[in-house]
Amino acid sequence: MRLSSFFSNSVGILLSRIFGFIRDLMMASILGANIYSDMFFVAFKLPNLFRRIFAEGAFSQSFIPSFASARYKSVFAVGVLILFVVIVSILAIGVDIFSQPVSALIAPGFSEQEIAKVSDFVAIQFWYLPLIFVVSFFAAMLQYREHFATTAFSTILLNIALITALFIYKGSSEANIVTALSYAVVIGGIMQVIAHIIVAKLKGVLKMLKVGFTALPEYLEKSRDDYKRFFTNFIPAIWGNSTAQIMAFLDTWLASFLVSGSISYLYYANRIFQLPLALFAIALSVAIFPSISKMIKKGNESGAIKQMQKGFWILLFLLGTATIIGVIFAKEIIWLLFERGSFNRSDTIITANILAIYLIGLLPFGLSRLFSLWLYSKHQQLKAAKIATYSLASYSVVAVSLFSAMGVYGLAIANMVSGFTTLIFLIKAFGKDRFISMLRFKWIVIFVAYSLLLVAVSIPLHRWIWGMVG
């Protein structure tokens, strides 16, 4: 793993999240936490669900190892691109036509009038899916060539589109604001596609794809084994990546039965939780995945383990720091970012409590991203899918058990428990002996001492700051 790749990913994600927080800050101030903000998040949840399942999740995890092993790489890439553009476009048309029953499915707690309104937003925003698939395809091609910056920075374009819509329509009705935001999602997707195509041309990817289009009729049959390997891995990978998104979907589904604003509380807390997860765990896993896949393909297992060992200790310290600071200063973070306009102190307290629960699961979720790379690189997507099923089962049991008594807090606890479940089974699949070989007693002692010192310094500081804020 080149640290420059990790750094470029982290910086791009950080800047993107800063723009995302500006967007959320404006949204919280303009819309607050009410039925219209809930409608937007419900509508945006659906394209994000399929985007993460097909485009960013199952696709990239199956495509990169398969592309590395493909005999005719350009033909393989073109065939996959054509097939998936057709599939996601048909899916978008279907959702556009049947937007009302789809909306009723994802937010059953909404009234008929609310379903009618949110269905318009769902129909618009779902066209983001085919656009972001094209982005994810070119991102995977660029990642194989160890270029990460474009993808890391491109999400800024989506946030710029949403911020612009909020700025222009901030004096309009809430319904008009959400409509403008829905169109801004699609415009942001178009800008991301254009950015990736420009860089793909500069990096020679378009030239390679042109060769693939020309050679496709002749070499399609000869690439049958490559396609078979890809789809053999992709089908279980769909389920493996679906489980995390199903949990997010169930959060929205269950929260729609709670008091107005519950979906928004979960969304805002999750946005903060996703920052260190994306900044460190996702950035590192994206940077390290191509090199691990290439080493596994060449039979260099020891080299791949060394890469993972380096990543493990980097994540342990970075995510451990984020967990301690985030849990202790949860109220201050939410107050600073969101408490203004329609977002009041009660909203801050509820959202902060949810954030603290989420953050307890930050380390297991982050480390799971690392250990899952081992299974993906070895074309063991089926085993990863089974582990994801165990995670979903643990979430479902806890969510159903705690939902009635604890409301949104019960849903947050269920998410946290699922993270620990995933990590335990992934370490078992990775191999207990391999995992133990990665541990170093000296670094364990340093990590524990560092964590205790951080807690000792942070708690008094939190009491002083919150005393002033309160």
Could you give the CA distance from residue 299 to residue 151 in angstroms, rounded to a whole number? 29
Structural domain count, the chain: 1
DSSP 4-48: HHHHHHHHHHHHHHHHHHHHHHHHHHHT-SSHHHHHHHHHHHHHH
Q: What confidence score (pLDDT) does residue 294 get?
A: 79
pLDDT for 324 beyond 70: yes
Half-sphere exposure at residue 19, Cβ-oriented, CA atoms within 13 angstroms: 19
DSSP 89-118: HHHHHHHHHTHHHHHHHH-TTS-HHHHHHH
| Contact present, 19 and 163 (Cβ < 8 Å) | yes
Q: Is 456 exposed, middle or buried (0-12, 13-18, 19+ CB in 10 A)?
A: exposed
Instruction: Encode pLDDT of 34-44 as tens digits.
Output: 777 788 888 88
CA-nearest of 379, 368, 329 to 226 is: 379
DSSP summary character for residue 122: H
Residues 6+ apart with CB under 8 A from 391: 243, 244, 247, 418, 419, 421, 422, 425
Instruction: Encode pLDDT of 328-374 as tens digits.
Output: 999 999 988 887 777 788 888 999 999 999 999 999 999 998 998 88
Taking the whole predicted model, whether its pTM rises above 0.85 is answered as no
| Highest mean predicted confidence (pLDDT) among 90-104, 136-150, 210-224, 387-401 | 387-401
Angle between helices 128-144 and 283-297 in degrees, nearest 10: 50
Instruction: Encode pLDDT of 441-456 as tens digits.
Output: 888 999 999 999 999 9
Question: Helix, strand, coil % (nearest 5) of the chain?
Answer: 90, 0, 10
| Chain centroid to CA 6 | 17
Instruction: Encode pLDDT of 283-302 as tens digits.
Output: 888 778 878 887 887 788 88
Tokens of 229: 């390997």
- Which domain, by its residues, includes 32? 3-469
